[in-house]
A and B are shown apart, each in its own frame.
Chain A
């Protein structure tokens, strides 16, 4: 199949999928490649938006909205918050020695190799348009699955969150006689 026939057979949904995927990879690359940390954070937010677009294409609107609220709306604000406090004028070269560069290349290359090896021969389940339930990504079905089939993992995850929350409060707690302002 050559490229022109591929373009001719493109439906709007698949066209939009390829466009979104292109944007996702582009913004993801820019996160790594841009020199300024603030630009990296903003590109990462754009990446989250593209991922939410993919969720909407899969008719999982709830996940799309929650992805935006939690990652783009809360976590990245904190990232930006911390980076704004850092003094960006100083070039911090300590962490970029040759040894760390080689180590990063080896680990990243190994991970890439593993991914290629795993996905090269994987058989993905065939998509059946007739048995597909378009409501599978809605809030109601998500809630039923979460609170019926996966109740124990869900509860364990919430206990984990509780522990993390208490830990954060303990770390930020003011000692006796300590004043912050």
Chain B
């Protein structure tokens, strides 16, 4: 009976994470329009509901009621498989991200369950994320090829070569973090940043490489060449309509949120915030051990969401500020600038761990 309650709490946490990811992706579409409107001195959506807050719902209804069209020369099952794969890989990533510390629950006096606010805590979390991200390109490639359209195929091929190129420097940027923390579990990496010890202060170059590659992996401006409408009509989703198109567009926003969450947990301390221990001590002394811990976890989770949403905003900010790269510029940046920089970053990190750290430790003694 006791284990059942712990399992129910875990199930609720998993459902909440899933639901919140979808909700945030849904309201990112609204946010994107509002941010774009603000930057271009317009008002943006304001018809559906107060401040246009029901706009995403209206969009979803519109998507569902459009005609679902499959081109006659398209390969039918692969045409359907494409958007499904895109959505699946986008949603799988959020499983290993630690959204908060842990929820404590006392089933019997003296018997306390400690349930982490995370769907699964695998000890290869980063590799899991990396594997799922590298599969994300199949949705685009399969959909683009199955459409039997030259523009779609060109978009798919651009997406594939772009993702392969930028995955390498992304992996190399993460290796520098792994050298510092010595663990592949994202929860360990977040815990080691406790007390203002954020990785961004040690890895500024790695952070810049990582965020550039994250933009390229999400196919966001300035790297949105797979779907650039001035050259390829719509790129890989030219032939798609109705909710299949909706899945492609929605997967992009989920990817954006998940990569923002990854950035904030790898480089910005995840659910840690300055003065966390003091707040935790105040809460436990006033509310008691278990309730205080849970409220502290809630505050940490809110901080984590605030950090992630800032980066979602950053994605939109960049989209409406920077123009698109040319294709050879994109490839040159990936292969000739980011990969050498990431390797230099690894060597510098290794040198600092081997020589600088003992020097500083002996100096402080």
CB < 8 Å neighbour of B124 from A45, A65, A78: A65
* Known A-B contacts A62-B124, A81-B160, A84-B153; A38 and B135 likewise in contact (beta carbons under 8 Å): no
Task: Provide the bound-state CA to CA distance between A88 and B77, in Å.
Answer: 18
Are the CB atoms of B78 and A62 closer together than 8 Å?
no
Within 8 Å CB of B299, what residues of A?
none
Within 8 Å CB of B134, what residues of A?
68-69, 72-74, 77
Q: Is chain A's interface secondary structure helix, strand, loop, or mixed overall?
A: helix
Q: Is chain B's interface secondary structure helix, strand, loop, or mixed overall?
A: helix
CB < 8 Å neighbour of A84 from B122, B131, B156: B156
Within 8 Å CB of A81, what residues of B?
141, 157, 160-161
Interface size on B, residues (CB 8 A): 26
Task: Provide the bound-state CA to CA distance between A81 and B164, in Å.
Answer: 11
| Nearest-neighbor residue (CB-CB) of B78 within chain A | A38
The yes or no answer to A30 lying at the interface (CB within 8 A) is no
Are the CB atoms of B123 and A138 closer together than 8 Å?
yes
The yes or no answer to A61 lying at the interface (CB within 8 A) is yes
Number of A-B contacts (CB under 8 A): 64
Task: Provide the bound-state CA to CA distance between A85 and B153, in Å.
Answer: 9
CB < 8 Å neighbour of B328 from A78, A84, A181: A181
Are the CB atoms of B127 and A69 closer together than 8 Å?
yes
Interface size on A, residues (CB 8 A): 22
Interface string of A20-41 (1 = CB under 8 A from B): 0000000000000000101000
Are the CB atoms of B127 and A65 closer together than 8 Å?
yes
Are the CB atoms of B122 and A61 closer together than 8 Å?
yes
The yes or no answer to A80 lying at the interface (CB within 8 A) is yes
CB < 8 Å neighbour of B135 from A36, A61, A72, A139: A72
Task: Provide the bound-state CA to CA distance between A73 and B153, in Å.
Answer: 19
The yes or no answer to A157 lying at the interface (CB within 8 A) is no
In the A-B complex, the 7 residue pairs with the closest CB atoms: A73-B134, A65-B127, A68-B131, A69-B131, A61-B124, A65-B124, A65-B131
